[in-house]
Structure 1
Amino acid sequence: MKISVSFLKNKTDVRDTLEKLDETTADFIHVDIMDGKFTSEKTMNEYEFLDCLKGIKKPLDIHLMVENPTNYIEVLKKLNPRFISVHAEIPDYKKYIDLIHSYNIGAGIAINPKTRVMNVECLDNVEYVLVMSVNPGLGGQKMIPETIEKLDILQKLKHEKNYNYLVSIDGGVNLESRVFLNSADVLVSGSYICMSDNFQEKIDSLK
């Protein structure tokens, strides 16, 4: 099981958190970016993220919760991330997947809790599928149980159609929910890891 750590985005200590995560065995650092339009919450902008993530060695898994991803992709490509994910709920999402691929970056599609897998049209053209098990925008939410079945659906499609993506789940991932998540390839966890005094211990408990 791969672990992607969603760091807490307090501007005063974000760099310290990132440097500590860089020394752990986490597989990815998950970067949530919100524009205050697609979600009610707003994070730092793409330029601030570019600045604070410079020099981080871990592969980056960037999640764009934004209405218009173009400039975010153009700016954040400079970090050479492993994946950039856009949402299936925005218009023309397939053109952003093509843009991400044009920079030789793995493209991901994020799926909100109410979005059905069968309504997502790009599964043959992504390297990463991010199943949102909470409504995007706020950290520390409890997992919506009905979203877990999407993991099995995505794995079945992957094997039947020979697709080439990792299946990831984001929201409410902790030791209690871990037992239900064996069908995932990647677990995205934030508060459970970053609110603790020992990042590595929490990462190990999810592996």
Structure 2
Amino acid sequence: AIRPITTLPLDVHLMIERPDQYIPAFAKAGADIITVHQEACRHLHRTIQLIKDNGVKAGVVLNPATPVSSIEEILSNVDMVLIMTVNPGFGGQSFIHEVLPKIEKLHTLRKEHRYSFEIEIDGGVNVDTAKLCTDRGADVLVAGSAVYNKEDRAAAITAIRQATLD
């Protein structure tokens, strides 16, 4: 397990079917937050509660074609909503700009209802797309290829952070 060698938050995104079977193991391994795909959960409320019962923060994932309305009933129960801005499965895909209104919608719902969940974005995040997300209310950005495909990864991270401020 990686938990003994870092104090960084461990954000576990379960891109699997029947995630309930694996939640206790990931919690035991030291996950700080576990996010599950709405489509992979037979009973989403029950899955979110299982995550919390294991002492871990709970999140739900929206794929690009999944509407925000499909998770509105559980927003008061989650700590994070992860919006996929590419179709899940492999890295290096292009950012799907049509997903941007979902960020705004979640940001608005969070303000209107005083929810406390964070909005996380994953997929195609780079210096060109980061600000598009943070300007619409995103709190957390996951940058895979834009960081790991660079020789100087620290500089890549700094550039993305700076892009959100410009």
Pair in the same fold by TM > 0.5: yes
Superposed displacement of residue 70, structure 1: 2.1
State the Cα deviation string for residues 16-56 of structure 1 (Å, max 9, x = none).
Answer: xxxxxxxxxxxxxxxxxxxxxxxxxxxxxxxxxxx4x3434
1:66 aligns with 2:20: no
Pick from 160, 184, 187 the counterpart of residue 141 of structure 2: 187
RMSD of aligned alpha carbons: 1.2
Cα distance in structure 2, aligned partners of 1:154 and 1:56: 34
1:148 aligns with 2:97: no
Amino acid paired to 2:10: L
Pick from 74, 94, 103 the counterpart of residue 122 of structure 1: 74
Cα distance in structure 2, aligned partners of 1:159 and 1:99: 26
TM-score normalised by L of structure 2: 0.89
Superposed structure 1 runs of 4+ greater than 6 Å apart: none
1:205 aligns with 2:159: yes
Equivalenced residues, count: 156
Amino acid paired to 2:109: L
1:100 aligns with 2:54: no
Match of 1:81 in 2: 31
State the Cα deviation string for residues 143-165 of structure 1 (Å, max 9, x = none).
Answer: 11111111111111001001110
Match of 1:133 in 2: 85
Amino acid paired to 1:206: I
1:158 aligns with 2:110: yes
Give the helix-richer structure, 1 or 2: 2
1:173 aligns with 2:125: yes
List alignment gaps of at least 5 residues for structure 1: 1-50
Amino acid paired to 2:32: R
Amino acid paired to 1:129: V
Pick from 90, 98, 110 the counterpart of residue 61 of structure 2: 110
List alignment gaps of at least 5 residues for structure 2: 162-166
TM-score normalised by L of structure 1: 0.72
Residues 3, 30 of structure 2: 8 Å contact kept: no
Residues 24, 54 of structure 2: 8 Å contact kept: no
Cα distance in structure 2, aligned partners of 1:83 and 1:205: 26
SS in 2 for 1:180: helix
